[in-house]
Amino acid sequence: MRTSTASKIDRTETDIGHLLARRGVDLLLSVDDGNALIQCQVSSAVAAAMLAPLGGDAVGQFRPLAGNLVEIDAAVTLATAGRMLKAREVAFGAPQQLQ
């Protein structure tokens, strides 16, 4: 028999959740010296697509939230960030405008 424990962390209870809500955006992208920090809260399906370019390096760069959501907090190269954002766009099915 399989047991499952769902995360009870609400999306608004995290630091990233507070930042996203305060700024009124659904993704934060910080760029510094050829590296990028991607912070967002997305559905598990979108998270799977976004984390796929990281392969085994995705460990520790995300955590589950309540309601089938995932919080991504990934420090990556600019090239990998581009692949993650493209995967997000494809998962959403339409181009997304970054603010």
Q: Is residue 85 part of a domain?
A: yes
Q: Is residue 77 part of a domain?
A: yes
Q: How confident is the model at residue 2 (pLDDT cuts 50, 70, 90)?
A: very low
Q: Is residue 30 part of a domain?
A: yes
The pLDDT tens digits for 75-85 are 999 999 999 99
Domain assignment of residue 81, given as a range: 11-92
| CA distances to 36, 51, 67 from 84, in Å | 11, 7, 22
Q: Is residue 97 part of a domain?
A: no
Q: Is residue 6 part of a domain?
A: no
Please count the structural domains in the chain: 1
Instruction: Output the pTM of the full model.
Output: 0.82
The backbone torsions φ and ψ at residue 87, rounded to the nearest 5 degrees and listed phi first, read: -65, -40
Q: Is residue 81 part of a domain?
A: yes
Instruction: Give the domain CATH number at 17.
Output: 3.30.70
